[in-house]
Chain A
Amino acid sequence: MRGGAKWGRASAVHERPWAVGVYLGFAALVGLAWSSPLAAAVGGVTGAYPRGDAEVFDAGGVMLVEAARRMRTQMAAIGTAWSAITLLAVPLGVVVLAFAIALLATPGRARPVWAFARAVRSFWTLTVIGLVAVLADVVLVALILLAGGALVRETWPVPPARDVARFGLFGCAILAVLAVGVLHDLARAATVAGPSRAYVSLRAALRTARRSAGRTAWAYTWRSLLGLAAVVAAAWLGARIGHRSTAALVASTFVHQLGVALLGWMRLSWLAQAVTLIRPSIARPEIAPPEDAPPERMASENVQPSSGQAAAAQAVIAQPAITQPAAETPETAQRDGAQPAAEAPHASPASPHPAPRPSNEPLA
């Protein structure tokens, strides 16, 4: 059976130019900021050469090693600059990410100013969730590496078996970090698209992961692999283009930034899907659907929730709703309660939050 709540799906990435622009622009800016101290330091070694830093990339690596040698004394300063940039970029990144999620979570039209306000309002909750995720990462990785390391030492004490086992162990640690990352993203989506409380968002994320583990993993994995492929392709193509001339430099930069952009696009696509996946597990549509959203499309993209989903939804239904301003969607508040039942005739009357469509998932 299929439900028909308008707010069931997130918007597609290409429908959210502000989200794309701000999110990708921010990543590019941070990359540039991180790179600048290094580029300035290398320029200090190679700047007087007519070929500039092309010397660094010459076969043999004499100038590469020379630049590294000369920069050793500057590494403290460069490290300080990197730390400062990172300290600034992390909280800003929280807002930028929340901004993008807010836009993606809103069907139909969405005003960037409203999304920004929503992002700012979610900041502290997202920060708390972020700290929880970091803590989980640390604990999981430590457990895997320490316990697994002891097992490897005991079972396979010498290479090559030991090294192979260690690779496996690192693989497990990476998988654990990725899994935490997926949960983290779901919780972020829940925070921005639903009630802005850390505990509720984390619970919703866990519930979603438990109930839709396969779909969640698939949605994350194929997008991540596509993003990774884009980066690898950009690196390979960039290396092929080289840096021999100004034109080549421009082309290489374009290819590299395109790779970074595609990676970011895939991440936005995943976040949009995370919003869609998390919705059945949050109390109510915190971000209301606009009035001009096409009902036919919405109806085809939702299914009736299971009884468990319904119960879960009931459990958190008391959370306060935050909706887009009335000026934007004047009828939202009135329709919020009645709409699911009215527009989703097959949905369970016990649940206003039907689950998304399980298959034929389009690229957001």
Chain B
Amino acid sequence: MAPSGSAGVAPESVIAPSGAAVAPEEEPMRAQSERAVGYTLAVELFPDTHTVRGAGTIVWRNTSRIATDKLYVHLYLNAFKSERTVFWRVPVSGFRGDPLDGPGHIDVERFFVRELERDVWPEKPTTPGDADDATDIEVPLPRPVEPGESLTIDMAWTSHLPTVTLRTGYYGSFHLVAQWFPKLARLSPDGTWAHFPFHRLSEFYADYGAYDVTVITPEPFVVGAVGSLVTEAAADEVPQIVDLPKVRETSPGGPRTRRRFLAEDVHDFAFTAWDGFRALEETTPDGVKLRCLFPPGYEAAARAELDAVRFGLGYFGRAFGRYPYRTLTIVHPPWGAAEAGGMEYPTLITTGGTWRRGALVETRELEIVTLHELAHQWFHGLIGSDEHRWPFLDEGLTSYAEADACEALWPDASAAEGLGFRLGLPALYRAGALEATRNGRVSAPATAFVSGRDYGALVYARSAATLRTLANVYGEDTVRRAVGRYARRYRFAHPTPDDFFGAMREGLGAEAEQALRVALTEPSSVDYVAEEVMSEPRPDGAPGFVGHALVRRRGEIRFPVDVLLIDRDGGAKTVRWDARLAADHVAYEGAAPLVAAVIDPEHRVLLDEDLGNNAVKLGGSRFAWRVLDLGAFAGGVAARGILP
């Protein structure tokens, strides 16, 4: 569908490094984050026991305006400790997350604050007020830390990985080591801590900072991690960054490899290690080193993912600001570890999917997942919104960006193509969004959604369908620029929904922003109805007919739409209806009687609840003859197989 007023995107049949033509934005971007925290860690993975032992230092600075007398530390891995944790006990159906075959947890063995000269780790570290959960630990300090003051925390811990579930864990010798170390929560400028127990539907939120992480693994293991690999050598040849006494004591024999990764202006660190990985590497024209790690036999999938990433870096870079890092690692988990797939970390994404392509119907699942996770490099990676409190700011915008990129690659066929049909992602997002129209607010916190289905339908699908509707109505390029303005303005920052709506208002105007705000912040809907058409000879006796189409808009959301009026001779004219009124007469004047009317004939308003009532016509067949033809053909062929 080519919306009016859209500059559009140059259609491409193949993935090109340059991406499609997205107009550059002038919005200034931060060159770097405030780097409120720095982690210097050294860790060793023991694949046989699936444990990671680590030690290191956190340097944290109070960037708020208020002194604080405590810290909050997230121990996300404790979510997998038992079935009594918040993560498992909150009933959330319809969402990913395989049951645990083996639990996981994290033991903090040292948490020594140099400036305070004591180990401040609490004796019974549990989530405040919840003895069964230990993912959100309050650490009281003996004295307040003043604004601008820094703390240096020496710590040691052991992470016991669970069987792979929801982004982290092991499967055989494959390990995705994520949410695995003691991680400080974020202190907001007003002095409140953004902390939360790890919930099934929630992702993460933290300060930007610098990570210097040394990872030791047995020699055969291939490792991919956040950031850039700066050294790689046998474990004994490189001096350690921090002391690892317990690691030394417990390390089994055999050669080991030590790799040091550096990442700046990121808010998380994860790595993967597997002795079965194959690797493909290439460098983009912009100098970004791409590395795809994948299981044997998945070369074609890896190449497709690299192609998608190469395209996406260009496309998203033009739309939302250039990708600032030097590396990007793509991890395709092996079979059996699909739960590790479909996740984003700064400069590292995990994908997933099959190794083969459909014969009759070509689906884009590999590219869709890859582009989705890549878009997260901006929405949450570079624009560090609070994923727990406003998940739509990352997942919703990412879904919009993913569909936008896929539509640029395969116009009107971004989801699948074959057997004479072309299916676009917007159609699927529309269907998903309408599953939960009034079930809740899109802008709600992750914990407010009562099921994974609602969460998926509202946060992912409805956000994407709403933004796509705006693009259809006001122009794809206009909306892309507005989102790009938000993305550039809040790079390396922590924006709120008001920041997003403000940027959209600047880019699209008050009317569009109001529709967006109603669609995302209220349980709301819209349904356009064409109710009747009528016409009669002109009363003044002149040749021709006058009449009208009675049209309605039901619901709170308002988008202006086209109304197509068709006369008896097949003549058609399009009238713009602003839809300000709930019911209106669209006037008709023509040479022949008016026989039909269609509201939004190009189906631009994806949030329209019922497209079946968008049209009205006088007379004529209502039977689906084309469907009958195809059905009779399929039935006739099937009869050969089913009937005697």
Q: CB-CB < 8 A to A57: which residues of B? A: 420-421, 626
Chain B stretch 600-632: residues in CB contact (< 8 A) with chain A: 603, 606, 610-617, 620-632
With a 10 A CB-CB cut-off, give which of B420, B598, B630, B638 has the most chain A CB atoms. B630
What are some 26 contacts across the A-B interface (CB < 8 A)?
A: A31-B636, A38-B624, A38-B631, A39-B625, A42-B624, A43-B623, A50-B566, A53-B627, A59-B422, A59-B424, A60-B422, A61-B422, A61-B423, A62-B1, A62-B611, A64-B423, A65-B430, A65-B431, A70-B610, A93-B643, A94-B644, A158-B336, A188-B644, A249-B625, A257-B636, A267-B640
A53 and B624: CB pair below 8 A?
Answer: yes
CA distance A82 to B92 in the complex (A): 37
A97 CA to B644 CA, complexed, in Å: 7
Asked if residues B420 and A47 are in contact (CB atoms below 8 Å), the reply is no
Q: Which residues of B are found within 8 Å of A97, using beta-carbon distances?
A: 643-644
Is B297 engaged at the interface, CB distance under 8 Å to the other chain? yes
Asked if A30 contacts B644 (CB within 8 A), the reply is: no
Do A249 and B626 touch (CB < 8 A)?
Answer: yes
Determine if B423 and A65 form an interchain contact, defined as CB atoms under 8 angstroms apart: yes
Q: Is A163 in the interface zone, CB < 8 Å from B? A: yes
Name A249-275 residues within 8 Å CB distance of B: 249, 252-253, 256-257, 259-260, 263-264, 267
Give chain A nearest CB distance to B313 CB in angstroms.
Answer: 26
Q: Identify A159's interface contact among B335, B434, B636, CB under 8 A.
A: B335
Q: Which residues of A contact B317 (CB under 8 A)?
A: none
A264 is contacted by which of B430, B611, B640 (Cβ under 8 Å)?
A: B640
Assembled-state Cα–Cα distance A252/B626 (Å): 9
How far apart sit A243 and B598, CA to CA, in the bound complex (Å)?
20
Q: B624 near A256 (CB under 8 angstroms)?
A: no
| Contact mask for chain A residues 168-201; partner B; CB cutoff 8 A; 1 contact, 0 none | 0000000000000000000010000000000000
Query: A256 touching B603 by the CB < 8 A rule?
Result: no
Contact yes or no, A49 B644, CB < 8 A? no
Q: Which among A110-118, A141-149, A230-238, A309-317 touches the partner chain?
A: A230-238
**Interface size for chain B: under 10, 10 to 19, 20 to 34, or 35 or more residues?**
35 or more
- Contact between A52 and B621, CB atoms less than 8 A apart: yes
**B413 interface residue (CB < 8 Å to A):** yes
A69 at the interface (CB under 8 A from B): yes
Query: Whole-angstrom distance from the CB of B359 to the nearest CB of chain A?
Result: 11
Taking CB atoms and an 8 Å cut-off, the chain A residues in 28-45 that contact chain B are 28, 30-36, 38-45
Chain A nearest CB from B494 CB (Å) reads 36
The CA-CA distance from A33 to B634 in the complex, in Å, is 11
Question: 12 more A-B contacts (CB under 8 A) besides A35-B635, A249-B629, A253-B629?
Answer: A31-B636, A34-B639, A52-B624, A53-B627, A60-B413, A65-B430, A65-B431, A70-B610, A160-B355, A243-B626, A256-B630, A259-B633
Alpha-carbon gap, A288 to B616, bound state (A): 64
Chain A's interface: helix, strand, loop or mixed, by majority?
A: helix
A90 contacts B by Cβ under 8 Å:
yes
Whether B354 sits at the interface, judged by CB under 8 Å, is yes
* Alpha-carbon gap, A258 to B466, bound state (A): 45
User: How distant is the Cα of A41 from the Cα of B623 in the complex, in angstroms?
Assistant: 9
Is B88 positioned at the interface, with any CB of A under 8 Å from its CB? no
* CB contact between B423 and one of A35, A60, A249 (< 8 Å): that residue: A60
Judge if B596 is at the interface, Cβ distance under 8 Å: yes
Do B644 and A126 touch across chains, with their CB atoms under 8 A apart?
yes
A48 touching B615, Cβ below 8 Å: yes
Residues of A within 8 A of B595 (CB): 50
Kindly report which residue of chain B lies nearest to residue A94, judged by CB atoms.
Answer: B644
Which residues of the other chain, A, contact B643 by a CB distance below 8 angstroms? 27, 30, 89-90, 93, 97
Interface of B is mostly: mixed
> What's the Cα separation between A134 and B617 when bound, in Å?
49
On chain A, the residues within 8 Å of B620 by CB distance are 50, 52
**A48/B612 contact (C-beta < 8 A), A159-B297, A160-B297, A249-B626 known:** yes
Q: Which residues of B contact A30 (CB under 8 A)?
A: 635-636, 639, 643
B423 touches A27 (CB 8 A): no
Question: Are B637 and A231 in contact, with the CB atoms below 8 A?
Answer: yes
**Is A35 a contact of B631 with CB atoms below 8 Å?**
yes
Query: How many A residues are at the interface, by size bracket?
Result: 35 or more
Contact assessment for A234 and B633 in the assembled complex, using a CB-CB cutoff below 8 Å: yes
Contact between chains at A31 and B615 (CB < 8 Å):
no
Q: Is there an interface contact between A49 and B617, defined as CB atoms closer than 8 Å?
A: yes
Contact of A47 among B356, B623, B631 (CB under 8 A): B623
- Report whether A239 and B420 are in contact in the complex, using a CB–CB cutoff of 8 Å: yes
Which among B354, B426, B427, B616 has the highest number of chain A CB atoms within 10 Å? B427
Q: A264 contacts which chain B residues (CB < 8 A)? A: 636, 640
CA distance A56 to B428 in the complex (A): 14
Contact of A32 with B640 at beta-carbon distance under 8 Å, contacts A61-B427, A65-B423 already known: no
> Are A61 and B421 interface neighbours, CB within 8 A?
yes
Say yes or no: is A46 at the interface (Cβ < 8 Å to chain B).
yes
Q: What is the distance, in angstroms, from B362's C-beta to the closest C-beta of chain A?
A: 14
Chain A nearest CB, measured from B431 CB (Å): 5
Q: Does B230 contact A (CB under 8 A)?
A: no
The answer to whether B615 touches A50 (Cβ under 8 A) is: yes
Determine whether the beta carbon of A63 is less than 8 Å from that of B621.
no
> How many angstroms from the CA of A235 to the CA of B633 in the assembled complex?
9
Q: Which residue from chain A places its CB closest to the CB of B336 in the assembled complex?
A: A158
B634: A residues at CB distance < 8 A:
31, 35
CA distance A156 to B591 in the complex (A): 72
B31 lies within 8 A of chain A by Cβ: no
Chain B proximity of A238: nearest CB distance (Å): 7
- Flag if A63 contacts B617 (CB, 8 Å): no
Interface residue B298 (Cβ < 8 Å from any Cβ of A)? yes
Separation in Å of the A196 CB from the closest CB of chain B?
16
Measured in the bound complex, the distance between the Cα atoms of B356 and A86 in whole Å is: 35
Tell me whether B412 is interfacial, beta carbon within 8 Å: yes
A77 within 8 A of B: no
Are A43 and B644 in contact (CB-based, < 8 A)? no
Bound Cα distance A249, B621 (Å): 14
A239, B611: Cα distance in complex, Å: 25
Is A66 part of the binding interface, using a Cβ–Cβ cutoff of 8 Å?
A: yes
**A231 contact set on B, CB distance < 8 A:** 637
Say yes or no: is A161 at the interface (Cβ < 8 Å to chain B).
Answer: yes
Contact A27-B640, Cβ < 8 Å, known A57-B421, A59-B413, A60-B427: yes
Pick the contact of B631: A34, A159, A235, A267 (CB < 8 A).
A34
User: Nearest CB to that of B435 among chain A residues?
Assistant: A69
Q: Are B626 and A263 in contact (CB under 8 A)?
A: no
Does chain B have a CB within 8 A of A54? Answer: yes
Contacts of A53 in B (CB 8 A): 624-627
Contacts of A260 in B (CB 8 A): 632-633, 636-637
Say yes or no for B312: interface residue by CB 8 A criterion.
no
Query: In the bound complex, how far is the Cα of B633 from the Cα of A123, in angstroms?
Result: 28
Contact A49 B598 (CB under 8 A): yes
Determine whether A345 belongs to the interface, using a CB cutoff of 8 Å to chain B. no
CB under 8 Å from chain A, chain B span 575-600: 595-596, 598
Q: In whole angstroms, how far apart are the Cα atoms of A96 and B639 in the complex?
A: 13
CA distance A174 to B84 in the complex (A): 48
Q: Are A31 and B639 touching (Cβ within 8 A)? A: yes
Interchain nearest-CB distance for A137 vs B (Å): 12
Measured CB to CB, the closest approach of chain A to B298, in angstroms, equals 7
Q: Nearest-CB distance from A324 to chain B (Å)? A: 23
Give the distance to chain A from B627, nearest Cβ to Cβ, in Å: 4
Question: With a CB–CB cut-off of 8 A, which chain B residues contact A49?
Answer: 598, 614-615, 617
- Interface residue B542 (Cβ < 8 Å from any Cβ of A): no
Q: Check B622 against A43 for contact (C-beta < 8 Å).
A: yes
A69's partner among B434, B603, B613, B628 (CB-CB below 8 A) is B434
A36 to B627, CA, bound (A): 9
Collect the chain A residues with CB atoms within 8 Å of residue B603's CB.
60, 62-63
- Alpha-carbon separation in the docked complex, A48 to B530 (Å): 10
Report yes or no: A50 in contact with B596, Cβ–Cβ below 8 A. Answer: yes
